[in-house]
Amino acid sequence: MSSSLVLFTALVVLVGLERVAELRVSRRNAERSLRRGGVETGRGHYPVMVVLHTALLVGAVVEVWTLRPGFAPLLGLTMLALVLAAQALRWWCILTLGERWNTRVIVVPGLPLVRRGPYRWIPHPNYVAVVVEGFALPLVHSAWVTAIGFSVLNAALLTVRIRVEDRALSTASRPTRQAV
């Protein structure tokens, strides 16, 4: 058994555990937003997103253990640096949005859009992190099939997700109507 296979598997497990931590934060924040009158949209694509992101982690490990691509140190270390940068960007997004961050599309009417942190420069910085990580994580150990497959499917999903999110956010800072 190759130590690079074990180390890669450990990396993917760590990323998976990080996802579990994200989901806990997300669930707590989503509940708060809904209690504050938040409106959720885009429920239809959410299960697809969960399956795709799970498939990224499982697919990378399965591909590496079954196809046994060789570990290319220059590629692997470069991709590891990108994975770490993507994690940093993702947590910068989470910290910037605070209680408003979650993995669903929930908008609390009347709240202004966040225009600080990475949102100063990019409208959807978390998706930049997702795209980079989705391509880079499998390539830490040369899992090209998973990297390309996830990237293509994720591009299609993000087309839907960003459209839904932009539509929902366009109403974010509008005040809610008061009953007379």
Q: Does residue 135 contact residue 150 with C-beta atoms inside 8 Å? A: yes
Please give the span between the terminal C-alpha atoms of the chain, in angstroms, as a whole number. Answer: 71
**pLDDT of residue 176 exceeding 90:** no
Of 44, 16, 24, give the one whose Cα is nearest residue 133: 16
Condensed to tens digits (0 to 9), the pLDDT of residues 38-97 reads 999 999 999 999 999 999 999 999 999 999 999 999 999 999 999 999 999 999 999 999
pTM given for the model: 0.92
CATH, domain range 3-169: 1.20.120.1630
Q: Note the pLDDT of residue 6.
A: 96
Contacts of 96 (CB under 8 A, 6+ apart): 114, 116, 117, 118, 119
Q: If pLDDT is split at 50, 70 and 90, which confidence band does 121 have? A: very high
Distance of alpha carbon 50 from alpha carbon 99, whole angstroms: 21
Q: What is the pLDDT of residues 8-31, one digit of tens each?
A: 999 999 999 999 999 999 999 999
For residue 105, what are the β-bridge partners?
A: 41
Tokens 């293509």 belong to: 152
Contact of 51 with 87, CB cutoff 8 Å: no
105: which residues sit within 8 A by CB, 6+ positions away?
Answer: 40, 41, 42, 161, 164, 165, 168
Q: State the average pLDDT over residues 135-148.
A: 98
**Every domain of the chain and the residues it spans:** 3-169
pLDDT of the residue at 84 = 98
